[in-house]
Structure 1
């Protein structure tokens, strides 16, 4: 018999539960660090200093966070429709392919049109690829978890073939496309802010970061301030009730998956247009899977997704610096910490919710 759902105030659900989950996960991670003979407090200081202690560290942290915002929002939108989209890697891969084809096929566009055209191509590619599992679930009854897993492998094989046989750079021994047109390249942040008097070191952070912030606001607006968002949330909460109210669960499923895939395409925009300036193999680098943890920790809310993305950005950048200063704490250890965060934010979520609900009831009783 399943336990009754725990109702919490919105602020506690969005902020307090993830905060307690993170604190508990870091405590467990600290015990792991103690187990290998290192000081967890010193390790924490080094990690935070590496991620947030310098302008260069902050630049890398926000670069990673940009990827996690896009992939976290992609998973979050599907969550609200009652769907578990774990195909962000494949959708971002196809988005990158579509973007590369657009850039290489129309290289002579004016600068003010080239980048928007490439971004729209990425969004369209990701949306189209995510629409497929949405259609299969809505019309054929195929579960979206299974189909998105399978399509991840299809996308991985497709990009290898295309880079090797169709759109690869002639004469290159690497699986990559020719460089994109200069007008399609996103401006690095240190160049973008230089005219305003900010002198920043060169990092991968680029103007895609602002696109990610706009995506956070756009998703909030969509889910909580539009009729479509209401339909998405209704279908996610109770498909039968939604159908009774005149909302088509099948239509909402396909639309939500398409939006999810378009957001996953932001990963391709940040990596290919902002950093690599061409399409390379394995540019997704697992960011799509981390987006699942980001969406879970963020409770599916854009504000929570943004904070969770920043946390994982700190872990990625700080962990890299930490492994240099403390060789015993390898990058694999940072992966373990991320896994513990996922465990506490996902599998043990109900435990923390019940504990917090009990404390809040005690406080209300005392008041």
Structure 2
């Protein structure tokens, strides 16, 4: 056989191998959604509502009665569970969104306005807590900041005589400044002494509570001729006007928190100061090397954070408790704001949506208790479960079999395995 007749074998080249299948566009979009943080918040709410449904079923009298003869008539227990859970969540919806039992649309939509009214201070305080989170500071002093804001702004609202409009603005500014000053003390202590903000905010909560309690009993907030620790009523010229008329509780404060949300979004996303906030929150040491005044950022951040929480406090005085306020005017909003900020992932519009959700929980829980006899505490447990699931993203991802952020997709792993096996 001549050389020309000898078969020539050539090694396989990379071009002769089938190219790995590229993930499709919709697959990439789906993966981006399932690996994002927003889906964890949504699924945390779903899981909390599911666990809440289990608790509603177990605490229902009809379910407990039918469980006694479950093996003889299991359908009765399943029907009782369905009636208990569906009735409770239906009442929650009708008490917070729309009541189909009302005759007119104007009456039926009233629960939604109640939800927005409850959500107003939650959104404002949640924005303040979220801003602290973005700077790497844990502001849990919402109660103290709200109380000081209510005290200073409330005093302007009932003790000062000013024309309509100017009086309202003056009370709002006084309240926001009160919260900003109380928060700024925390930032100053953090910047100058290195004191941890968790400790200082907790202590300042107690200081504010007992200070305002004293002012209500024997100080400038006391109602003349009364032994009840409650301030005088807000003057008409300082009350936040109704947005939809006297038949609804929704007031101008909701418009103010929309403006506050836009402001925080612009501050964090578009301003130079917001860039410094985010840089310090990511890595204060690197930010310091880059020439950012970290101590100054801490003070500015807590001033703005406290001012936003103060907006929540003065909203309560000028819009909700206009007949006078006591030392419990904060109504646990300062602590609920932490949950709102966590659920909103410290993003302004996420906090806005989370505040409305928690406002719906508050508004609907009373209807749920009145219509179905479900304890209001169930809603508190649901809120706590939301925080629990948000704090454990691996648990949520494992239950719903979501991909881990940063890990290669299953299709990409399969293509790599096939390529390795072919070599």
TM surpasses 0.5 = yes
CA distance, structure 2, for counterparts of residue 295 and residue 279 of structure 1: 26
Q: Deviations over 1:173-194 (max 9, x none)?
A: 4222222232111112232xxx
| Structure-2 residue corresponding to 1:195 | none
Kept after mapping to 2: 8 A contact 1:17/1:356:
no
Correspondent of 2:273 among 228, 231, 234: 228
| Structure-2 residue corresponding to 1:245 | 290
CA distance, structure 2, for counterparts of residue 267 and residue 11 of structure 1: 34
**Unaligned 5+ runs, structure 2:** 1-30, 61-80, 99-107, 416-423
| Structure-1 residue corresponding to 2:8 | none
| Structure-1 residue corresponding to 2:54 | 31
Structure with the higher fraction of residues in helix conformation: 1
Correspondent of 1:135 among 184, 188, 212: 188
Deviation for aligned residue 1:358: 3.7
CA distance, structure 2, for counterparts of residue 127 and residue 12 of structure 1: 37
CA distance, structure 2, for counterparts of residue 253 and residue 10 of structure 1: 33
Are 1:273 and 2:318 an aligned pair? Answer: yes
Deviation for aligned residue 1:364: 7.0
Cα pair distance change 1:364/1:52, threshold 3 Å = farther
Kept after mapping to 2: 8 A contact 1:14/1:298:
no
Deviation for aligned residue 1:55: 2.0
TM-score (norm 1): 0.89
CA distance, structure 2, for counterparts of residue 237 and residue 319 of structure 1: 38
CA distance, structure 1, for counterparts of residue 178 and residue 258 of structure 2: 21
Identify which range, 33-42 or 145-154, moves more after superposition. 33-42
Correspondent of 1:298 among 327, 344, 353: 344
Correspondent of 2:247 among 192, 202, 222: 202
Cα pair distance change 1:117/1:55, threshold 3 Å = same
Are 1:312 and 2:365 an aligned pair? Answer: no
CA distance, structure 1, for counterparts of residue 181 and residue 312 of structure 2: 16
Kept after mapping to 2: 8 A contact 1:206/1:270:
no
**Unaligned 5+ runs, structure 1:** 1-7, 192-200
Deviation for aligned residue 1:356: 3.3
Deviation for aligned residue 1:353: 5.7
CA distance, structure 1, for counterparts of residue 359 and residue 345 of structure 2: 18
CA distance, structure 1, for counterparts of residue 143 and residue 34 of structure 2: 31
Identify which range, 255-264 or 24-33, moves more after superposition. 24-33
CA distance, structure 1, for counterparts of residue 411 and residue 265 of structure 2: 30
- Report which of the two structures shows the higher radius of gyration computed on alpha carbons: 2
Equivalenced residue count is: 348
| Structure-2 residue corresponding to 1:333 | 378
Cα RMSD of the aligned pairs, angstroms, is 2.2
CA distance, structure 2, for counterparts of residue 182 and residue 52 of structure 1: 30
Are 1:111 and 2:173 an aligned pair? Answer: no
| Structure-2 residue corresponding to 1:213 | 258
Deviation for aligned residue 1:118: 0.9
Q: Deviations over 1:136-189 (max 9, x none)?
A: 111112110011011111111011100111221112242222222321111122
Q: What is the SS of the residue equivalent to 1:325? A: helix
Identify which range, 231-240 or 260-269, moves more after superposition. 260-269
| Structure-1 residue corresponding to 2:11 | none
Identify which range, 147-156 or 347-356, moves more after superposition. 347-356
TM-score (norm 2): 0.78
Are 1:342 and 2:387 an aligned pair? Answer: yes
Are 1:158 and 2:204 an aligned pair? Answer: no
Cα pair distance change 1:135/1:10, threshold 3 Å = farther
CA distance, structure 2, for counterparts of residue 321 and residue 249 of structure 1: 48
Cα pair distance change 1:216/1:335, threshold 3 Å = same
| Structure-2 residue corresponding to 1:198 | none
| Structure-2 residue corresponding to 1:63 | 117
| Structure-2 residue corresponding to 1:179 | 233
CA distance, structure 1, for counterparts of residue 44 and residue 271 of structure 2: 31
CA distance, structure 2, for counterparts of residue 216 and residue 324 of structure 1: 34
CA distance, structure 2, for counterparts of residue 303 and residue 115 of structure 1: 27
Deviation for aligned residue 1:10: 8.3
Cα pair distance change 1:320/1:91, threshold 3 Å = same
Kept after mapping to 1: 8 A contact 2:150/2:310:
yes
CA distance, structure 2, for counterparts of residue 350 and residue 238 of structure 1: 24
CA distance, structure 1, for counterparts of residue 358 and residue 318 of structure 2: 22
Cα pair distance change 1:255/1:11, threshold 3 Å = farther
